[in-house]
Amino acid sequence: MTVVSVTRDYGLALRQVELSYGGRRFLGPLSLDVAPGEVVTVMGPSGCGKSSLLAFVCGTLDPALSGAGRILLNGADIGARPPEQRRVGILFQDDLLFPHLSVAGNLAFGLPPAMRDRKARRARIEEALAEADMAEFYDRDPATLSGGQRARVALLRTLLSEPCALLLDEPFAKLDVALRARFRSFVFDHARAQELPTLLVTHDPQDAADAGGPVIEIDAAGRLLGGKQVAANQRSPQRP
Amino acid sequence: MNRRDLLGYLPGLTLLLFLAPVAAGLIGTWLPAFGYFPALGGEGFALTPWVMLFDHPGLGESLRLTLVSGLLATLVSFALTVFFLAACHGSRFVLAVRGLMAPLLAVPHAAMALGLAFLIAPSGWLVRLASPWATGWDLPPDVATLQDPNALALTLGLIMKELPFLLLMTLAALEHSRADERLAIARSLGYGPVMAWLKTVLPAIYRQIRLPIYAVLAYSLSVVDMALILAPLSPPPLAVQVFRWFNDPDLTMRFVAAAGAVLQLLVVVGAIGLWRCAEILAARLGRIWIAGGRRGGKGRVLRVLVTAVIQVLVALAAAGLLAMAIWSVTRRWRYPDALPSALTTDVWARQGHDLIWTTGTTLISGLAAAFIALALVLGCLENEQRRGLSISTRALWLLYAPLLVPQVAFLFGSQVLSIQIGIDGTWIALVWSHLLFVLPYVFLSLADPYRALDERYSRTALCLGASPNRIFWRVKLPMLLRPILFATAVGFAVSVTQYLPTLFAGAGRFVTLTTEAVSLSAGGDRRVMGVFAFLQAALPLAAFAAALALPRRLARSRVLREQRA
C-alpha cells in the first residue's frame, strides 16, 4: 500500500468505471469517492446495472459482462485481486444465511481464520450477538429466525469478516416498512461506528434520505443524471 | 502446480476416461468384423465374416425380434409418458407416480425381468392366483407367456423399466418449461387440458427429452440380460445372438460375432435415424394440427385409461419383487396353490457363502464406480462454475455416447484393448467398465441441482474472505448434500445393474448379483433365483433409502442439539 498521501487514501474510490455486455457499455463511466464512515447512495431503476456495479467492486461480476476502470480501497488498486482477497463485504436483498449452518456457524464462517483460539472465536461471536440483542440465538437454525433477525445476523456475519468497505445491494427491500427503518439505522450505525466506507444501491428514495450521504442517480440506460453526481465527485473525502 | 490448474484438466480427463474405451472398443470390433484380428490369424481384410453372418439361418428372425421389441417398447413408453403427463398435469397422481418411479428406476433390469417372469410364466403367480377356481387349469397351461414367439414379454419388461426413466426425465424437463403459464394461457383460450399440453408444452420440452428417448431406443434394441430371461432363445434377438457368438468355444466365430456387433450398431443408428425422420414429419404435421385450432375435450377418458395402465405396470413391478421375496423363503409351493405351504430360510443359509462373495463384489464395484464418478462430476461442475463455462448441447451428446452405442457393439473391442494394456480381468477393468455407464447418469442427476444453487451464496462467502476451495467444501457440498447422495445412489444402482460390462471386462472372473441372477435364470430353481434376484433389487433400493434418510437424520440431530442448547 502506498503511503504517499495517507490523508487522501482512506476509503473506497471508483475511477472511470464502465460496465459492458458484448462490447456495448451499459453503465458509466462513473467515478466516485466514499470516505470512511460515509454512505454514498447510487439510485436507479431496476435493470440499470446497479447490482452489476457492486458485483464488479467485489469481484464477482458475471463472466458474460466485462468491467473497466479502477477500484481503490484505502489507496490500493484491488481490481485485479480475487474476491476473497478484496476485503469488501456485501449484503444482498436476501440474507443468504447458509441453511446448513447454525447462527453461530454462519458467524464463525465470517470470522477471519487468523483468529485461531476457539474460545476467543466463540467469545467474539457471543459479543456480536449480545450487542445485537440476539445473545440467546447462538445455536439456533437460521430457518427458525424472523426476517429482521436473519437480516441482522447477515450484517453481523459480514462485519465479523472485518471488511474494509461495505456494499449494500438493496438489503432493505424485502423487509416490511416498520422493520426496514430499524434495520436501516442498525446497518448505518454499525457502518459509521466501524468507519466503513459504504456504497448503497437502491431504488427507494427513503433509503437514500436515511443514508444521509451523497446520492448519485442513474437512468435506465445507465447514464448518470446531472448535478448530484458532480457534487459527489467534487466532495473531498472526509479525513479519517 | 496449483489446484485451479488441476481442476482445469478434469473435464478433459473425464471425457477421455469414458470416451476412449468406447472409441477404441468400436474400432477393436470393426477390424475383426472385416477379417483383421492377428491374434486369431486374421492378417488381412476380408468379407467372410459378413458372408457367414448373412448365411446364418436365424438372422432374419433375430432381427425381427429385435426390431419389434425395441421399437414397440420405445413407442409405448413414449406414448404413455406423454399422454399420462398431458392428461394428469398438476394432479396429485403425478406426484405419487414421481415418488414411485424413482425406486422402480433403481431396480436392476435383470431383477425386473425375473420378477415379471415369476408372475406371468405359465406356472407363475398370476395363473396360480386364478387357478383352478377361475381358469379350471389343474396343470400349468401350455401357452408360451414367457419367451413368446413375438417377444412381447420382453417388450412388456422393457416398458416397465424404460417408462420410469422417460417419465422422470420428462418431469425434470417440465420444471424449466414454465408449463403452468403456457397451460393457463391455452386453457384461457378455450383449449381442453390434454390438447393444451400437447400443443403448448410438448413442443417446448421435446428437445430436452430427445436424447433420453434415443437412449431408451438404443437400450431396448440391444438389451441382453432381460432378453436372456424374457425373449425366445432359438433364435434369440440379435444382441443375444451376437453375445453367444462372442462366447462360442470355436474362436473363429469371433469374426462373425464382430460382424454381428457392427450390424447391431447399424440397427441402432438406423432406428435413431428413423425416429429423427418421424420427429421432423411430426413437427411439420403438428404445426398444421396446431394451426387448425381444435380445442379438444376434457380428456377424462384418456385420463382414466392412462392412469389405469400405469397403475397396472407399477402393480406388476411391485408384485414381481414380492414374488421373488416369497420364493426365496419357500420350502414347498405346489401348483396351483396361491401361496407356499411351507416356508424356510434354508435357501438363504445354503447360499450363504456365494451370497457374501457376490454381494461383496457387487458392493465394491458399485461403490468404487459411484464415488469415482461423483468426484469427477463434482470436479467438472465446479470447474465449469469457476470459469463461467456452460456445457453445450454438443457436449451433452458426448455424455450420452455410452448410452447410445449398444454395449455388444464395443465391449469386445474394449476387452481387446484391456488385454493389450494388461488390465484384463482386474478390478481396474471392472470398475472402469462400470464407470462408462455410471458417469453419465451421475452427471445427469447432479448437474441441474449444482447449477441451480443460488450463486450469491458463493459470492457472499467470497466477500467474507473464503477461498473458492473452502466454499466448495464448506458451503456447496453441505448445501447440496441431498442431491449428491442421491446421485451417488443413482450411480451405485447403475453399476449394480451392469451385466455385459461385468462379463466382458471381468473376463469371467467376477461374479456379481446380476450375472449370477441371469445365469441362474437358465436353470430351474426359483428359490435360488428368488434369493439372488431379491438381493439384487434390494441393494440399490437400500442405497436410495440411505440417500434419502441420511440428510434427514443429520437435520434432526441438528434440531436436537439446538433444543438441548
In a domain, B266, yes or no: yes
Give the residue from chain A lying closest to B478, CA to CA: A100
Same domain, B286 and B362: no
Reported as a pLDDT band with limits 50, 70 and 90, residue A240 is very low
Contact A124/A111 with Cβ under 8 angstroms?
A: yes
Q: Does B2 touch chain A (CB under 8 A)?
A: no
pLDDT higher than threshold 70 for residue A86: yes
Which residues in chain A have Cβ-Cβ distances shorter than 8 Å to B474?
109
Rounded to a whole number of angstroms, the distance from the CA of A28 to the nearest CA of chain B is 23
Do B322 and B360 belong together in one domain? no
By C-alpha distance, which of B423, B446, B430 is closest to B376?
B446
- pLDDT for position B559: 62
User: Are B562 and A140 in contact (CB < 8 Å)?
Assistant: yes
Cell of B340: 407356499
B391-427: pLDDT as tens digits? 666 677 888 888 899 999 999 999 988 898 988 889 9
| Amino acid code (one letter) for B78 | F
- Please write the tens of the pLDDT for every residue from A47-73: 788 889 999 998 888 878 899 999 999
For residue B510, pLDDT over 60 is answered with yes
The answer to whether residue B41 sits within a structural domain is: no
Tally of domains within chain B: 2
Are A94 and A149 within one domain? yes
Average pLDDT estimate for A159-177: 89
pLDDT number for residue B556: 72
Give the CA radius of gyration of chain A.
18
For residue A23, pLDDT over 90 is answered with no
Both A76 and A120 in a single domain? no
pLDDT at A9 over 80: no
A92 and A1 share a domain?
no
Residue in the block written with cell 496449483: B2
A1 and A47 assigned to the same domain: yes
**Residue whose entry in the numeric block shows the C-alpha cell 438489503:** A171
Q: Report the chain B residue with the minimal C-alpha distance to residue A165.
A: B463
> A90, B481: Cβ pair inside 8 Å?
no
Calculated CA dihedral for residues B367, B372, B374, B376, nearest 10 degrees: -170
Structural domains in chain A (count) = 2
Element containing residue B31 per DSSP (H, E): helix B3-33
CA-CA distance, A237 to A35, in Å (whole number)? Answer: 5
- B468 with B495, same domain: the answer is yes
**Residues B26, B86: one domain?**
no
Shared domain for B175 and B242, answered yes or no, is: yes
Q: Is the pLDDT of residue A233 over 60?
A: no
When scoring B460, B482, B553 by the number of chain A Cβ atoms within 10 A, the one with the most, hence best to mutate, is B460
Helices B513-521 and B526-564, axial angle in degrees (round to 10): 150
Residue A237 pLDDT greater than 70, yes or no = no
**Same domain for B354 and B334?**
no
The reply to whether A148 and A99 lie within a common domain is yes
Mutate to test the interface with B, among A21, A71, A90, A109 (most CBs of B within 10 A): A109
- Residues of chain B with C-beta less than 8 angstroms from the C-beta of A60: 458-459, 462-463
Mean pLDDT across chain B, nearest whole number? Answer: 89
Q: Which of B344, B368, B395 is the last residue of a domain?
A: B344
Residues B381 and B498 in one domain: yes
Check: complex ipTM more than 0.90: no
Residue B310 lies in a domain: yes
The pLDDT of residue A6: 41
**B56 & B22 share domain:** no
pLDDT of residue B146: 86
Range of A128's domain? 88-162
pLDDT band at A115 (very low <50, low <70, confident <90, very high): confident
Q: Which of A150, A71, A67, A60 is nearest to B463 (CA)?
A: A60
Residues of A in contact with B460 (CB under 8 A): 90, 92, 96
Nearest alpha-carbon partner for B112 in B164, B157, B69: B157
Last residue of a domain, one of A162, A193, A213: A162
Q: In this structure, are A4 and A63 located in the same domain?
A: yes
Pair A92, A127 in one domain? yes
Q: Are residues A11 and A63 in the same domain?
A: yes
Answer yes or no: is B45 within a domain. Answer: no
A217 and A43 in contact (C-beta within 8 Å)?
Answer: yes
Q: Highest mean pLDDT: which of A211-215, A231-235, B297-301, B493-497?
A: B493-497
3-state secondary structure of B278: helix
State percent of chain B over pLDDT 70.
97
Q: Are residues A7 and A72 in the same domain?
A: yes
pLDDT digits (tens, 9 = 90+) for B311-336: 999 999 999 999 999 999 998 888 88
How far apart CA A129 and CA A108 sit, in angstroms, is 12
User: Any CB–CB contact under 8 A between A136 and chain B?
Assistant: no
How close B366 comes to chain A (CA, Å)? 29
Query: Is the pLDDT assigned to residue B565 strictly greater than 70?
Result: no
Q: Which domain holds residue B6?
A: 1-31+346-565
Per the CB < 8 A criterion, the answer to whether B119 and B126 are in contact is: yes
* Domain final residue, candidates B344, B365, B380: B344
Task: Tell whether the model's pLDDT for residue B557 goes beyond 80.
Answer: no
Residue that terminates a domain, selected from A131, A162, A193: A162
The three cell numbers of residue A137 are 440465538
CATH number at A37 reads: 3.40.50.300
Which pLDDT belongs to residue B5? 66
- Please indicate, yes or no, whether residues B18 and B150 belong to a single structural domain of this protein: no
Same-domain check for residues B214 and B285: yes
Residue B479 included in any domain: yes
Rounded Cα–Cα distance for residues B171 and B180 (Å): 13
Q: Is residue B127 part of a domain?
A: yes
* Chain B interface includes A92 (CB < 8 A): yes
**According to the model, what pLDDT value does residue A226 have?**
53
B515, B247 in Cβ contact below 8 A?
A: no
Whether A186 contacts chain B with CB within 8 A: no
Same domain, A14 and A74: yes
Last residue in a domain, options A127, A162, A197: A162
Question: What tens digit of pLDDT does each residue of B104-130 get?
Answer: 888 999 999 999 999 998 888 888 888
Tell me if B539 is assigned to some domain: yes
Query: What is the spatial distance between Cα B255 and Cα B513, in angstroms, rounded to a whole number?
Result: 30
The predicted pLDDT at position B236 comes to 95
B564 falls in which pLDDT band (50, 70, 90)? low
The string of DSSP codes covering B209-221 is HHHHHHHHHHHHH
Ranges of H-type helices in B329-426 = 346-350, 352-387, 393-404, 411-420
Let me know whether A79 and A125 are in one domain. no
The strand pair at B330-332 and B342-343 is best described as: antiparallel
Asked if residue B450 and residue B306 are part of one domain, the reply reads no
Residue B254 lies in a domain: yes
pLDDT tens digits, B25-73: 999 999 999 988 888 888 888 888 999 999 999 999 999 999 999 999 9
Q: How far is CA A98 from CA A84, A87, B457, in A?
A: 17, 20, 7
Domain boundary among the residues B318, B344, B370 is at B344
For residue B163, what is the domain's CATH number? 1.10.3720.10
Average pLDDT over residues B171-182: 86
B123 and B57 belong to one structural domain: yes
Of B456, B465, B475, nearest to A84 by CB-CB distance is: B465
Do A157 and A122 lie in one domain? The reply is yes
